[in-house]
Chains A and B, each alone.
Chain A
Amino acid sequence: MESEYKYSLTNYKPYSYDETRTGDGCLTEVYKIYDAWLSKQTSFDAKNKLADLIFRRIGITFAVYGEQSGVERLIPFDPIPRILSSSEWEKINAGVCQRVKALNAFLNDIYTSKKILKENIIPSDLILQNSEYTRAVENFIPPNNVHTHISGIDIIRTSPDTFYVLEDNLRCPSGVSYMLENREVMSRLFPELFKKYNILPINHYPHELKKTLKASAPNELDNPRIVVLTPGIYNSAYFEHAFLAAQMGVDLVTGADLFVGKDNCVYMQTIDGAERVDVIYRRIDDNFLDPEAFNPNSVLGCPGLYRSAMQGKVTICNAIGNGVADDKAVYPYVPKMIEFYLEEKPILENVKTYTLSKKDDCTYVLEHLSELVVKETHGSGGYGMLIGPKATKAELEEFRTKIKAKPSNYIAQPTLSLSTSPTLQEEGLAPRHVDLRPYALMQSPDKVTVVPGSLTRVALKQGSLVVNSSQGGGTKDTWIVGNQENTHA
């Protein structure tokens, strides 16, 4: 039988730090307000069905690699929002901006004067011998000194005041379309909530993105031609590429639509002939961007793009060579970058990281494997990862062998208890672990914008700490609730 208080947050029992609770276990102010509405709900069945229908109709699907081709799946969507107060958001926002500024300064530095290496703040070998360090862009200065136009910073929370950055994504961070579509769907499902609460809008993200891309144009053109470069419809993020191109009103191109002319400028093939391209928001990795300069077997890119970019005829966003700054082996040094370049104290915490190429760290990790999380330095998407406390004996042994064979391939971190957030399950609300990915846009090294929202990913399996969609994760809408005095209620 449906009971009236099935969804009440006061009856909801988290087992570890939960987003709805203050330090002393009470409901936070923002969740109190939401609970007033939530506790009156008796069923989400109809809303869930509608959400599913909307997502399928608009075709927000992703292809799972390794599954039968052509299979398209929806990322599970949870209708219970993750809510942050504006003061919590201020801290995240400031922390993200700070971090992105430092990382951009780092990229500017290591590809030119290398001050941070010369002053021994970061070991030179770690950078210069890093496979992500791109010699081909040494001494190249991108327009406005911006390398990191678009960044996605993965954050987890372990207590009301503690936010850790788990990972910086400075190459082609994806997921922003889910942030925007989740909001769209939530506002269709629960219009009454949006009328009642002061939820800060995020729909201007594509507008901000376009401003950022415009600002990156070579020679400060007034009306540069911007394109989004996609690998094509079989890429798992194709929906996002098409979505962003449509929202910005720019062309969505594949490598085959582009060519580099004798003048080293980039052109696209149109029905009226060749047209000049000034800015490429690429969603293709460095390695596949230009078969002439990088992987010669790539069919996704366009020969000559690198050459054109180096001559300042086109801007590639994000810049080539960013991978070295979000490398997991470089991650432990981000707090030092913040101090070195900005002379500030880091606002967001860094997770204690063991670099296995260091002998002491490696010994420690091998002794404490069952307590730690081990990651491949170049891995992503939650693949190639060991979660010690959840691993079987065989898995632990397998990783032990792998680590011993090539320690520099791995880093290890303590297993952090990610915060949980109430998530809809058959029996009612249950705590599930979440992370947070805000998106930062950089127009110039001192101007970073973060729209007041994020992608919240949720590990749907009970107790799971892996939120990646490729590993059974889902998403939630993320609300930043402004001052309640401004509400229309």
Chain B
Amino acid sequence: MLSRTADNIFWMARQVERSQGTVRLLEAAYRMEQLPESENIWEPILFISGQKESYYKKYDELSSQNVLKFMIFDHENPSSIFSCLKSARENTRTERSILPEEMFESINTTWIESQSMYYDGILKSGFTEFFDWVKDRTELFRGLTVSMMVYDAAFQFARLGTYIERADFTARLLDVKYHLQSKGANRELIDYYQWGEVLRSVGGLHAYKMLYKQDIRPDKIAEMLIFNPIFPRSMISAYNEIITSLTELKKQSTSLNLAYQEQTFLETSNLEEVLKTRTLHKFLTDFIGFTADLSDQIRHDFMQI
């Protein structure tokens, strides 16, 4: 397989996963905004997307409308949903000769539909419907990846793209709460709701209740999102998948060693241990940096980049 093809497929999957991540994040913020005393929710969203600086270059004022416009439509923002969909479509189109035709047709349909969407239109038809549409379209694409692609190298690169992005996103999402230090008399109640939204945004509310059978507790939520190997959006799950794909590609590689290093740590550690040496925020920041290095190493090992 061409190295460039591997890279395009890796990014195709990453961008689809990222557009879903962005929409989940926006949905969480959108819902948190409806809680009392949550007016500062939008800045953390920009921060954890790494887009705070470029936002303020464009807008003087922080408002939900501006942030939504910026994070959904703005083609200059590489994390915006439409930017991600556009790049994903372009990568799929570039590699359409080796991908099942349903994959291009699906992402192309998504892209065509997105062409007629604009802020006021979504405002009228409802943001929740829009968020659902993005989640549906991206899940459909991922479903096609899993059910239509031959289990060859291309498939492994698609999985690597998905799970590198997912590991990164779950860490960022968990970090949202760090940026939302609630104050005041209702602090406890607001915490409860905000943690609930964090969980909901990774589709983990139901899983949490099922697995932990108890009220929403920040330490338990963090434990599930970081260490629980049977929760599919947890950081350790993502690393398990990354290891499976890297092993399929090559029995030994520097990237595989790196991935094992992180996975072993996640497997043998727990929240209590982690918090002995650093804060959760610091741990998540380290994890995000490590995952970015792993991504670079994968591209270096297989794509000569």
Contact = CB atoms under 8 A, between A and B. Distances in A.
Interface in A44-58: 56-58
Given A257-B3, A271-B3, A271-B303, A233 B93 contact: yes
A438 B245 CA distance: 46
Interface string B1-39: 111111000000000000000000000000000000000
B90 A57 contact: no
B304 interface: yes
Interface in B197-243: none
Given A242-B97, A243-B97, A252-B97, A270 B108 contact: no
B108 A57 contact: yes
Interface size bracket, B side: 20 to 34
Main secondary structure of the interface of B (DSSP, over half): helix
Given A58-B101, A245-B97, A271-B302, A251 B90 contact: no
Contacts of A58: 101, 104-105, 108
A269 B105 contact: no
Contacts of A59: 93, 96, 104-105, 108
Contact of B2 (A233, A241, A243, A268): A268
Nearest to B111: A59
B4 A57 contact: no
Contacts of A232: 94
Nearest to A258: B2
A52 to B, nearest CB: 11
B93 to A, nearest CB: 6
B11 to A, nearest CB: 14
Given A233-B90, A246-B96, A270 B109 contact: no
Chain A contact residues: helix, strand, loop or mixed:
mixed
A270 B2 contact: yes
Contacts of B304: 269
Interface residues of A, number: 24
Contacts of B94: 232-233, 242
A246 B112 contact: no
A268 B2 CA distance: 7
Interface in A228-259: 228, 232-233, 238, 241-243, 245-246, 251-254, 256-257
A246 B98 contact: yes
Nearest to B94: A233
Contacts of B3: 257, 269-271
Nearest to B105: A57
Contacts of B90: 233
B249 interface: yes
A270 B4 CA distance: 8
Nearest to B5: A251
B109 A57 contact: yes
Contacts of B97: 228, 241-243, 245-246, 252
B137 to A, nearest CB: 14
Nearest to A242: B97
A270 B98 CA distance: 14
B108 A271 contact: no
Contact of A271 (B1, B105, B109, B112): B1
A268 B98 CA distance: 16
Given A269-B304, A270-B3, A271-B3, 10 more contacts: A56-B108, A57-B105, A228-B97, A243-B97, A245-B97, A251-B2, A251-B5, A251-B98, A269-B3, A271-B1
Instruction: Please list the 3 inter-chain residue pairs (A to B) with the smallest Cβ-Cβ separation, ordered nearest first.
Output: A246-B97, A245-B97, A242-B97
